[in-house]
Structure 1
Amino acid sequence: MSVLFVALPIALILGGGGVLACILCIRGGQYDDLDTPSVRMLIDEEMKRESD
């Protein structure tokens, strides 16, 4: 039973830290554009070919 007095506050602190980190990432614009990074390499290649 005494383990709960240690494990529960640690779990709550870690969970709160994860929620805080997620909120800071969302407010900072980390998740604004999810499509462009995956195709950026292809877009850059097309731009290089057009300019040649």
Structure 2
Amino acid sequence: MNILMFLAPFSLGLGLMAVAAFWWSLRNGQYDDPAGDAARILVDDPEDRPAP
């Protein structure tokens, strides 16, 4: 029963950290242009390739 006194706050803390990380990523524009990123994969642009 003593382990619950440790695990319950620990799991709540991890959950709050995950929500905070998600909120931070939203506020910093991580999801601004998902359609553009998906289309960029299909473009065959020689400038995007690494140098040999």
Structure 1-normalised TM-score?
0.75
* Aligned position for 1:32: 32
Runs of 4+ residues over 3 Å off in structure 1: none
* Residues paired across the two proteins, number: 46
RMSD of Structure 2 on Structure 1 (CA):
1.8
Which of the two has higher C-alpha Rg? 1
Which structure has more helix as a fraction of its residues? 1
User: What residue ranges of structure 2 are gaps of 5+ in the alignment?
Assistant: 48-52
User: What residue ranges of structure 1 are gaps of 5+ in the alignment?
Assistant: none
The alignment partner of 1:35 has SS state of helix
Amino acid at match of 2:15: G
Pairing of 1:39-50 with structure 2 (within 5 A): 39-43=39-43, 45=44
**Cα shift at 1:11:** 0.1
Structure 2-normalised TM-score?
0.75
The alignment partner of 1:9 has SS state of helix
Percent identical pairs in the alignment equals 35
- 1:6-52 alpha-carbon deviations (Å, 9 max, x no partner): 00011011000000000000000001111111111334x37x8xxxx
